[in-house]
């Protein structure tokens, strides 16, 4: 069976950002911490029982929303409850997403003492003009302060989230943000383009964005700057120091398995290859989730004809691509199931084969949608 991770979703945040399409809800009178931790642990108990989980957990990712709104006491109870039900690997990676507007020295020192050993900080930009345009609740000074507090609290494994293609940006805007991020010496930088997703405020009332040529040029300049400072791109929007890739997200992209608990959380579990690989999902609404977590949600089997596309959609996000052995090991299918997409993409110079490994060419990397389209039968 593939490696197994755990995703925990905490849906509340201080304010709903106009570009955000995640399952997040602005908190009004305080989040129901105790009741939600109870619900998460009931949810986990049901998943462990239903899917007969005995494999060790290699990573935990606590996302949102803004999980850093919760107290250290809440996470202490959550992590203890998880450890009571699951076998945790000795070198487990535990990531917590955090908003710069929620940082307090004592609080984050306690997070670190609980065993949370990786922070992902949603900076988005170090420029107040762009932070205001994005509807963020923090300032550039708070962004800088959050990194300092994290490092002083003992977190040496930091990810900084940054966006490019922002309203009113010029070619130098993203480069300035990347320069600032590099100066703070995080282990990892996530750098992705602002997109206007359906069911968001920005989709209904679109801001004026830079043209595609400017966005592409800024992206290339930033990628060169990151590479020059030792941040290797290993995924479409992820750059890291050597050995500091996000192990949890790598498991997603390598088509590994993961339990998903919390309001709106999704999971993927391999019960038998290839005929019984399932997607799981939980109720999106926090109120519905709190009311009946152990019986709500659903399960959907992945049709074996869809497995090749599901596999390449994930693996080709990675610079290293995949081997045919990896395809067979995670899907249970023979490599012929990848044809004619594999050979067709190679003929078009969208994929490269090297030492029995397939990965995107520079052209394929820029036109990944075309690459994937060739795998649709």
Which residue range is the domain that position 180 belongs to?
4-251
The answer to whether residue 262 sits within a structural domain is: no
Q: Token digits for 156?
A: 């040496």
Q: What is the pLDDT of residue 295?
A: 67
Q: How far is CA 139 from the centre of its chain?
A: 23
339 and 210 in a common domain: no
User: Could you tell me if residue 292 is inside a domain?
Assistant: no
Cα distance between residue 326 and residue 316, in whole Å: 12
Question: How many angstroms separate the Cα of 225 from the Cα of each of 114, 165, 219?
Answer: 35, 17, 10
Residue at a domain's end among 251, 272, 290: 251
**Judgement on whether residues 228 and 325 belong to the same structural domain of the protein:** no
pLDDT for position 150: 97
Task: Give me the pLDDT at residue 296, please.
Answer: 67
Cβ atoms of residues 350 and 370 within 8 Å: yes
pLDDT(137) > 90: yes
Tell me if 123 is assigned to some domain: yes
Say if 270 falls within a structural domain: no
- Shared domain check, 168 and 241: yes
Instruction: Give the CATH number of the domain where residue 181 resides.
Output: 3.20.20.70
Which of 251, 269, 291 corresponds to the end of one domain?
251
**240 in any annotated domain:** yes
Convert the pLDDT of each residue in 206-216 to its tens digit.
Answer: 999 999 999 99
What is the tally of structural domains in the chain? 2
Same-domain status, 214 and 353: no
- Alpha carbon 283 to its chain's center: 20
Distance CA 287, CA 8 (A): 17
pLDDT for the residue 272:
94
Same domain, 99 and 190: yes
d(CA 117, CA 266): 23
Last residue of a domain, one of 251, 286, 312: 251
CATH number for the domain including 308? Answer: 1.10.10.10
What is the rounded average pLDDT of the residues 334-350?
Answer: 96
**Would you state the pLDDT for residue 347?**
96
Quick one: which of 136, 146, 156 has its CA closest to 107?
146
Coil/strand/helix, residue 337 = helix
Distance CA 64, CA 158 (A): 17
């Amino acid at each position: 069976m593939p490696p197994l991770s755990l995703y925990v979703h905490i849906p509340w945040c201080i304010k709903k950002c106009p570009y955000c399409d995640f399952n997040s809800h602005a908190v009004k009178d305080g989040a129901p911490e105790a009741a939600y931790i109870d619900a998460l642990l009931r949810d986990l108990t049901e998943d462990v029982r239903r899917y007969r989980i005995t494999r060790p957990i290699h990573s935990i990712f606590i996302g949102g929303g803004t999980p850093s709104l919760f107290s250290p006491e809440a996470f202490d109870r959550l992590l203890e409850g998880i450890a009571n039900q699951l076998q945790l690997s000795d070198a487990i990676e535990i990531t917590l997403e955090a908003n710069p507007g929620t940082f307090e020295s004592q609080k984050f020192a306690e997070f670190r003492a609980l065993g949370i050993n990786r922070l992902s900080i949603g900076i988005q930009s170090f420029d107040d003009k762009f932070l205001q345009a994005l509807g963020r609740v923090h300032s550039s000074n708070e962004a800088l302060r959050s990194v300092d507090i994290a490092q002083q609290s003992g977190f040496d494994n930091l990810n900084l989230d940054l966006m490019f293609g922002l309203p009113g940006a010029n070619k130098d805007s993203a480069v300035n943000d990347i320069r600032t991020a590099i100066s703070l010496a995080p282990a990892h930088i996530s750098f992705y383009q602002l997109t206007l997703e359906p069911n968001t405020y920005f989709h209904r009332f679109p801001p004026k964005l830079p043209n595609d040529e400017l966005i592409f040029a800024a992206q290339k300049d930033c990628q060169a700057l990151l590479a020059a400072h030792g941040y290797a791109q290993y995924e479409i929007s992820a750059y890291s120091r050597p050995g500091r890739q996000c192990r949890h997200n790598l498991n997603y992209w390598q088509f590994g398995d993961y339990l998903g608990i919390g309001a709106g959380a999704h999971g993927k579990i391999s019960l038998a290859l290839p005929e019984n690989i399932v997607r799981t999902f939980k109720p999106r609404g926090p109120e519905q989730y709190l009311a009946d977590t152990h019986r709500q949600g659903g399960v959907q089997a992945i049709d074996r004809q869809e497995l090749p596309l599901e596999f390449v959609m994930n693996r080709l996000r990675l610079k290293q691509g995949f081997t045919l052995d990896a395809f067979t090991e995670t899907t249970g299918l023979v490599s012929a199931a990848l044809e004619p997409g594999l050979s067709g993409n190679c003929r078009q110079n969208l994929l490269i084969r090297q030492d029995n490994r397939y990965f995107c060419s520079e052209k394929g990397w820029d036109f990944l949608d075309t690459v994937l389209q060739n795998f649709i039968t």
